[in-house]
Structure 1
Amino acid sequence: MSEVDGMSVLVWTAPGTATWLEGLDERLEIAEIPADPLHDPRLAEVKILVPPLMRNLEDEAYDLRTLMSKAPSLEFVQTQTAGVDGIVSSVPDGVALCSVRGAYDELMAELLLAGILVSYKEVAHYVHAQDAGSWQPTEVRVIQGAKVLYVGYGSIAQCVERYLAPFGVESLKVARTARDGIEGLDALPRLLPQADIVVVLTPLTPDTRGLVGEQFLASMKPGALLVNGARGGCVDTEALMAAARERGIRAFLDVTEPEPLPDGHPLWSTPGIFITPHIGSLVADNNERCFRVVRENLTRWLDGRPVLNRVEHGY
C-alpha cells in the first residue's frame, strides 16, 4: 500500500453507511454500493470496498464474491465485522483484507460475563418461576475461585479476563500459537478437565470448525460451563446436546449452528443451555464503534501506513 496521489480514490461502502465516512478525507470519493453493482459502469474504478454485514455471501441480492473478482482496481477490503470467516476465502489474491477486531471487545465481554452470571445464578430458572408466580428456591453456584479456560486468547478474551478478575478466578489460556503464558491447542486435553468455565473465542477456520466436539466435551468437568462467543460452527451442536443430557455440561451461547436457530430446534429446550440470538454487537452505537476502526484504517491506507487488523493465513 503506497501513499495515494492525484486522482480521488473510489470507495464503495455498504448501503446505509456512507454517512459514517463523510468528511473523512478529500482524497476519497465515498459512494454506497449500487443496487446492480455488477453492471455499474464504475465497478472498474473501485479501489476500496466496505461490504455489508452478511451471514453468507449468497444471501445478498448480488454476488459479492463475483463483485470483488470483477473489480480490477480493487486493492483493499475492510469488513464491518471482527470475524472474517464469511468472506476471507472470496477476497482475490493481492487484495488486502482487514477486520474491525477490537471494536466490539467491551460489548462481547459484557455479554459473556452476563451469560456466566446467568448460568451460575440460575437466572433462567427464576425467570420461569416468576412467570409462573411461584417461589422456587434452588441452589446457585459461586464464580469466586473458578478456573476459566480461554480457547482463543485475542482482544475479546483479554477483555473478558479483565472483567472476571474481581471475582478472583484463575485464568488458563490456549491459542493457535503458543507464546508466553499461553499454551497451544495441544494443551486442551490437559487443561479442559481442570476448567470450571470454558470460553471459546477462536476465529472460525477449517481447523476450528467443530473444535468443540465429542472428545472436547468429554474432557470437560461434569457440570462445567461452556461459553461460545466465537462462531456457531466451532461447536458440534449434536455433541453439545448429548453432553448436556449425559454429563450435565452447561452452556451459554450467543452463536449457534445452524444460525438463526430454527423454531423448535432441540437445542432450545436442552437442559442447562441458555441462548441469545447473536446480540453481542447489537447496541445503539454499533456503527460508531465499527466505523471508528474503518475510518482509521482508510486513512492509514491512504497515507501508506500499516493498516490495523490485516488478515493473514485465514485470520
Structure 2
Amino acid sequence: MNGEDIPAQELSSLYQSCTILTTLLCYPPNLESVPNLRLVHTPGAGIDYALDNPVFSAPQIRATTSNGIAAPPIAEWFIGQLINHTRTFDRWQQQQDDRKWDAPIATLFQTPDLVGQRLGVLGYGSIGRQAARVASALGMKVLAYTAKPKATPESKRDRNFVVEGLGDPEGTIPSEWFSGTDKESLHKFLAQKLDVLLISLPLTSSSRHIIGKKEFRVLKENSPHGCFLANVARGDVLVQDDLVQALIDEDSGLNGVALDVATPEPLPSDSPLWTSPRCTITPHISSVVAATTDRIFQVLDANLSKAPGEKLINEMEKGRGY
C-alpha cells in the first residue's frame, strides 16, 4: 500500500488492524498506531530511506525485504551498459541514422572484447551474483568483495531469495574473494587490476561515500587499461563531486561510467553528469520489469508458510540495516 489516496481516518483504521504491512513509502507515524503489526515486508532490497521509522527497531516486529527479486533485470541493465560501452552500439546507431557505412577496421582490431577482463563486484549480494553469472558466461574473471569474510563454502552460500536457476547460490563463481569494512581492505580489492567495477552494495553508515577521490586514484594506478564503473546501489555510496571531477579529468583512469542512481534524485538538470561524454545515466529504473510485483509477493508468500519463530527469507538484521 502507498497511502497517497487513502483518507487519513481510513488509513489510521488500517494501521490499527494490520498484522502484516507491505509498502514502499507508507509507514506508520509511531508504534502506537500499529499495535498488532508483526511483520513489515518491503518491496525493494534497500530500505535506507525508511530505517528511521520505529517499525524497523521494534523487537516485536520482524522485517523482510525483497532482496533478490531485481537481480535479473539489474544484471541485464549492467551487462547491457557494459556491452554498449565496449562495442559502442550508440555509434553504430548514429551511423544508421545518418545512413553511413563506415567500418574503421584498423581501430576495431584494437578493440578488446570482454573475454579475460577482470570484473570487481563491490557487494556480492543477489545483484552482484547474477551479474557475475552472466559476466562469467561471457568469459570475464570475477572478483568479489563483501563486508564479512567468506572463507568457507557455507559462508559463501546465498541465503536470500534467488530467482530459480539464476545467481550464484553456492558462491563458486568468483576466482578471488576480498572482505572488510576499512579503507585498507577496500583499496586492496580496488588494486586488483580491475577492468570493470560494479557497485551493488547496500547503503549503510559504513558504505556511505565509500568511493571517492582516493579510491579513483587506486583504480587509476592499478588498472592499466582504465576502468569502467557502474553503480546500481545508491548515489551516496559515491562522493559525487569526486566522480564529476574524475569524469572531467581525461587522465583519471575511468574510461566510462554508467549510473542508475544519483544524489539527489531526481538529478538536477544542471548537474555536469548529464553532459559528460563518458557517463550514461538512467533514472533509477534498472530493477523494474513486468515480473517485479509477482516476485515481491513470492517472497512474502514463502515467508507466510514458515513456522512461528523460524528464520524468514530476506529477514533484516536490525543492527546492520539490511
What's the TM-score, normalizing by structure 1?
0.79
Q: In structure 2, how many angstroms separate the alpha carbons of the residues matched to 1:206 and 1:118? A: 33
Q: In structure 2, how many angstroms separate the alpha carbons of the residues matched to 1:161 and 1:195? A: 14
Check if 1:118 corresponds to 2:84: yes
| Amino acid in structure 2 at the alignment position of 1:203 | P
Matching residue within 305, 309, 312 for 2:314: 309
Q: In structure 2, how many angstroms separate the alpha carbons of the residues matched to 1:163 and 1:69? A: 47
Gaps of 5+ in 1: 1-12, 17-32, 55-59
CA drift of 1:271 comes to 2.3
The residue that corresponds to 1:85 in the other structure is: 48
- Aligned length, in residue pairs: 277
Q: In structure 2, how many angstroms separate the alpha carbons of the residues matched to 1:111 and 1:141? A: 21
The residue that corresponds to 2:38 in the other structure is: 75
The residue that corresponds to 1:206 in the other structure is: 205
Shift in CA distance, 267/38, structure 1 to aligned 2, threshold 3 Å: farther
Q: In structure 2, how many angstroms separate the alpha carbons of the residues matched to 1:189 and 1:196? A: 15
Q: In structure 1, how many angstroms separate the alpha carbons of the residues matched to 2:232 and 2:216? A: 17
Matching residue within 303, 312, 316 for 1:297: 303
Residue 245 of structure 1 contacts residue 271 of structure 1 at CA under 8 Å; is this kept in 2?
no
Gaps of 5+ in 2: 152-175
CA drift of 1:280 comes to 1.7
Residue 3 of structure 2 contacts residue 11 of structure 2 at CA under 8 Å; is this kept in 1?
no
Q: Identity percentage over the alignment?
A: 27
Q: In structure 2, how many angstroms separate the alpha carbons of the residues matched to 1:108 and 1:69? A: 38
| Amino acid in structure 2 at the alignment position of 1:274 | T
The residue that corresponds to 1:44 in the other structure is: 16
Residue 216 of structure 2 contacts residue 253 of structure 2 at CA under 8 Å; is this kept in 1?
no
The residue that corresponds to 1:184 in the other structure is: 179
| Amino acid in structure 2 at the alignment position of 1:306 | K
Residue 72 of structure 2 contacts residue 130 of structure 2 at CA under 8 Å; is this kept in 1?
yes
Say what the alpha-carbon RMSD is for the aligned residues: 2.5
Q: In structure 2, how many angstroms separate the alpha carbons of the residues matched to 1:34 and 1:68? A: 20
Check if 1:153 corresponds to 2:124: yes
The residue that corresponds to 2:65 in the other structure is: 99
CA drift of 1:40 comes to 2.6
Check if 1:163 corresponds to 2:134: yes
SS in 2 for 1:314: coil
SS in 1 for 2:119: strand
What's the TM-score, normalizing by structure 2?
0.78
The residue that corresponds to 1:240 in the other structure is: 243
Q: In structure 2, how many angstroms separate the alpha carbons of the residues matched to 1:195 and 1:167? A: 16
